[in-house]
Amino acid sequence: MTVGLRLDEAVWGLLHHALRLYRDNPRATARLRQQLARLEQPLRVAIAGPWRSGKSTLLNAIMGEEVAPVDDADGADVFTWYEDGPQPRAIAYSTSHPPQDLAMARSATGMRVDLVGWRAGELRDIVVRWPTRALRQMTLIDTPPITGVDAHGRAPVMDRILRDADAVLYLTRDGRGSDLRVLESSRESAVGQAAPVNVILVLSRADETGGGRIDALVTARQLARRQFRDPRVDALCLNTVACSGLIGLAGRVLSESDFAALAQLARVPRPALEAHLLSADRFAGGELPVRLDAEVRAALLDRLGIFGVRLATTLVRTGCDSRAKLSAELIRRSGLTELRESVNRLLIDRLDALKARSAMAAVEALLRAEPEPGTGELLAMLEQILAGAHEFRELRLLAALRDNRLGFDTELAAEARRLVGGDGVGLAARLGVEHDATGQRLWEVASDAQWRWRRAAEDGTLRLAQRRGAQVVVRSCEGMLAELAAGGR
């Protein structure tokens, strides 16, 4: 919430100034009009990462259905877009043909898309329209693998991801090395430096941490918290989350037959079963102490992996005695719940700010690539908008408050998080009052919060980082009071 001109209004004005500047350049005006149209569209969230980082599996877990369609090697360089639609449909966009509908085969847990007949490199995009609640507020983009940076420090695939998406879930095994260099390449622009607020780092394949021990997911969450405290990671990401897409997806699509097979395994005494769960090969080909067909074993490995089979049988033994209970516990332990909460609070709730950021990045790229008389004035206008964009400061403060690196006590940190929109961006949610509170009640609570946090911002006994955090909260309170004065609720 920007005090004065709202961020989305300021960016709308910037785009129209740029349209006037480039009115004689059809290609540039087309790009600018696309940015204007994007302001009204759902948030675009790309799922990116290197080879075998689990992008499609995580996308399926978020959607709760197996819909990632690209099996064929010819689809390796394709961007696959998932949009809400009234009925399933897949459309191919190529470099040499008009858009074409693709054949789809629906299964019990999702669908597959037929790519037979397409040559390698011919397809550029596949747009999948799929009726699901998960896509009503965002479009998900499954992207080609990131293969690292080139000699100039650029990652070509990542360049397109940052152009096309408003936010990124970047999947990595350990959040180090080449993955951080890829993310650092996105900060070369003024927008990238001033507003690094559109990336969530996901430690994927969390079930493999520590050799796949039964406590692997707990260990992965601890690693994610340590990683988030790394200044290099903090400068690039809003949050770091450990998540096993495979376990999360298994929890969301687990069938009664899957549960029955796992329950059958769980009835075997632990010492008698453990040796058979040391590896996938032993489980698939060994002589189990219980009758379980080879096809059933293969299906369990495909659904859960060997770590998931170990975890699920342990959970069944310890109280998850129904499919619903086991599904819920697998989802919780996978980290998927925490990831979805981060996506909702840090991305979807901040849709307007993130879309404004995308538009500013596009305008900046155009101004620098194709300078015209008047470019300097527009760049100055863009930098002024960035300097006054309180929405970005709120997001950075939310990131700092997630692990309370500022050192506020628990109660104060919780209040700061709520006031800057961590529990929802509406006035009632920010102020912690009932949703039907009167304007007078909202004004009183906001005024009281502003007064208390202004005292904190001016308290010389607090550390500089704490005072700066308090200043952000004060600005948020000022924005709420300004909105109430203008008649908002």
Question: Which H or E element spans position 43?
Answer: strand 43-48
Lay out the sheet containing 43-48: strands in order across: 100-101, 89-94, 123-129, 79-83, 138-142, 43-48, 167-172, 199-203, 239-242
CA angle 232, 392, 350 (to 5 degrees): 110
Query: Do the strands 199-203 and 239-242 form a parallel or antiparallel pair, or are they unpaired?
Result: parallel
Q: Which residues pair with 241 in a beta bridge?
A: 202
Identify the residue whose tokens are 């799929």: 130
Say which DSSP state 438 is in. Answer: -
The C-alpha angle 204, 205, 211, rounded to 5 degrees, equals: 135
In this structure, what are the phi and psi dihedrals at residue 202, rounded to the nearest 5 degrees?
Answer: -115, 115
DSSP for residue 144: P
To the nearest 5 percent, what fractions of the chain are helix, strand and coil?
Answer: 55, 10, 30
What does the alpha-carbon distance between residue 327 and residue 174 come to, in Å, rounded to a whole number? 27
CB atoms within 10 A of CB 226: 13
pLDDT in tens for each of the 489 residues of the chain? 444 468 999 999 999 999 999 999 999 999 999 999 999 999 999 999 998 899 999 999 999 888 865 443 444 688 999 999 999 899 999 888 889 998 887 766 667 787 777 777 788 899 999 988 999 999 999 999 988 666 666 778 888 999 999 999 999 987 777 788 888 877 778 898 888 899 999 998 887 776 667 788 888 888 888 888 888 888 889 999 999 999 999 999 999 999 999 999 999 999 899 889 989 999 988 888 888 899 999 999 999 999 999 999 999 999 999 999 999 999 999 999 999 999 999 999 999 999 999 999 999 999 999 999 999 999 999 999 999 999 999 999 998 887 777 889 999 999 999 999 999 899 999 999 999 999 999 999 999 999 999 999 999 999 999 999 999 999 999 999 999 998 755
Report how far apart, in Å, the C-alpha atoms of 263 and of each of 259, 317, 320, 450 are: 6, 8, 9, 56
Q: Which domains does the chain have, with CATH numbers?
A: 7-42+354-388 (no CATH), 44-246+337-348 (3.40.50.300), 251-329 (no CATH), 404-485 (no CATH)
